[in-house]
A = this chain, B = another copy of it.
Amino acid sequence: MTTKLPAPLIESLQARFGNRLSLGESTRLQHGRDESVHPPQLPAAVVMAESNEDVIEVLSLCQQHQTPVIPYGVGSSVEGHVLAPRGGISLDLSGMNRILAIHAEDGDATVQAGVTRKQLNDALKGTGLFFPIDPGADATLGGMAATRASGTNAVRYGTMKDNVLATTTVLAGGRVMRTGGRARKSSAGYDLTRLLVGSEGTLGVMTELTVRLYPIPEAISAAVCTFPSSEAAVQTVIQTIQLGVPVARIELLDALSLSAINRFSKTTLTEAPTLFFEFHGSPAGVEEQAQIVQAIADELGGANFEWATRPEDRSRLWQARHDAYFACLQLKPGCRCFPTDVCVPISRLAECIAETAADIAQVSIPIALFGHVGDGNFHLVVLVDTDNPKEMDEAAWISERVVERAIAMEGTCTGEHGIGLGKRKYLVREHGETAVDAMRAIKAALDPDNLLNPGKVLPDTH
């Protein structure tokens, strides 16, 4: 359903935005779908914003005309965040892509929300600094903040929660606020920045972000190691984390992922559960870390331990990890991936993965498993033909089972993807009615007309 926009709103938007307003089907379709299995839901219009003033104008007009607004970055989210179940305007921030300031001496940068992580890292060349958060896709920093993204480096550098210092945010109706600041810590009032991070565009539209940067490590080394079982691989992860080894990345691919990679890349990698490591530090420090991890892996039956320090050798070792998602998609041409994204306390990770493997054995669809296991976070690549009800049912069953299991293990239904449309039904199960009511109260306080990305995050009340 695409609710039509009021004519006076269209006129005002046309007058202000000219050809930066799109009413055409193809642009609306592009903005009304994401990378997941959710069927598209089109906005009534798309506005390409280029400045804070543009965002203020759209939010002001949309309040006047009681029209929903859905912030949009590059559309790489996977839980239906950018879909338009209630129509309205998709507010595309990808044109707000200026880097406003790099404070190398303080290790922070201020960017517009449409800057992508690769763009920021390109701009940092020569400063000796980098921005570590890497969710895979070259997402916008605004989108990453909105979904509280993390990815492979989070085990060392934290998630967007830990790395957004400040925002400029336009509230419903068009008022602008600054939240947070550039000081490394503050006890001055409620932490609005952390409230916005992960709010998925439902509390305000973040237009500028100040993010933390880190010195590029003096030395980086990478390692890869195969294991006789997922259990042995996961135990290696658990012991590494429990010993406090400051690994920068620690990633698991299961045997099916390796098999998919061999087919996709014509390689002959061992088709067994495999851990990928990266270590950051001084030359002596990374060597020390690698030795500790190798000793742990050896005791647990790890084999083919390879490590590398030169950039080209590290890239070669990690290539399989980088190819994993696309290689898995090729296992079933034309399929889509049903998103799963649980995270559990690390002590429960082996059990959670083993029980999940038993479920996987019961369904017909191919399902690979990989993840950011240093955080206790993993994904299933559940490959489905969205037109096949049996496959969709199997995928939904697997997803439901793994979420239930994670919550029962004191974990979460989503480690890094967010709630969007797809995980709303789990919010009460995970947090309880009272906490979700508190979230609803906050939403009503900051967006009383429910115009900002309505229908997302919070489950409908009945």
Contact = CB atoms under 8 A, between A and B. Distances in A.
Nearest to A159: B185
Contact of A214 (B108, B244, B347): B244
Given A191-B197, A416-B187, A410 B181 contact: yes
Interface in A280-338: 281-282, 284-285, 288
A457 interface: yes
Contacts of A188: 412-414, 418-419, 423, 426-427, 430-431
B171 A438 contact: yes
A442 interface: yes
A257 interface: no
A284 B281 CA distance: 12
A411 interface: yes
A148 to B, nearest CB: 4
Contacts of A215: 242-244
26 contacts: A105-B242, A106-B347, A148-B191, A150-B185, A154-B185, A161-B194, A171-B434, A177-B434, A178-B432, A178-B434, A182-B345, A183-B343, A183-B412, A184-B377, A185-B412, A186-B412, A187-B412, A187-B416, A187-B419, A189-B458, A192-B431, A192-B438, A192-B439, A194-B194, A194-B195, A282-B288
Interface string A431-462: 11011111101111110000000000110000
Given A214-B244, A242-B105, A284-B288, A190 B181 contact: no
B347 A105 contact: yes
Contacts of A430: 181, 188-189
Contacts of A426: 188
A396 interface: no
Interface string A184-222: 111111111011011100010000000000110100000
A161 B189 CA distance: 13
A106 B345 contact: yes
Interface string A31-64: 0000000000000000000000000000000000
Interface in A248-299: 281-282, 284-285, 288
Given A177-B435, A178-B435, A182-B410, 6 more contacts: A106-B346, A154-B185, A159-B185, A181-B430, A192-B439, A441-B445
Interface in A147-192: 147-150, 154, 158-159, 161-162, 171, 175-179, 181-192
A184 B215 CA distance: 24
A73 interface: no
Interface in A344-391: 344-347, 375-377
Given A195-B191, A288-B285, A181 B412 contact: yes
A442 B439 CA distance: 10
How many copies the complex holds: the figure is: 2
B242 A376 contact: no
Given A190-B439, A446-B442, A103 B431 contact: no
A164 B126 CA distance: 36
A88 interface: no
A233 interface: no
Given A427-B188, A434-B171, A183 B446 contact: no
B419 A189 contact: yes
Most chain B beta-carbon contacts within 10 A, residue among A185, A344, A415, A419? A185
Contacts of A154: 185
Contacts of A423: 188
A105 B238 contact: yes
B442 A185 contact: no
Contacts of A341: 187
A12 to B, nearest CB: 23
A261 B154 CA distance: 43
B427 A189 contact: yes
A238 B111 CA distance: 24
Interface in A387-410: 406, 410
A86 interface: no
B198 A187 contact: yes
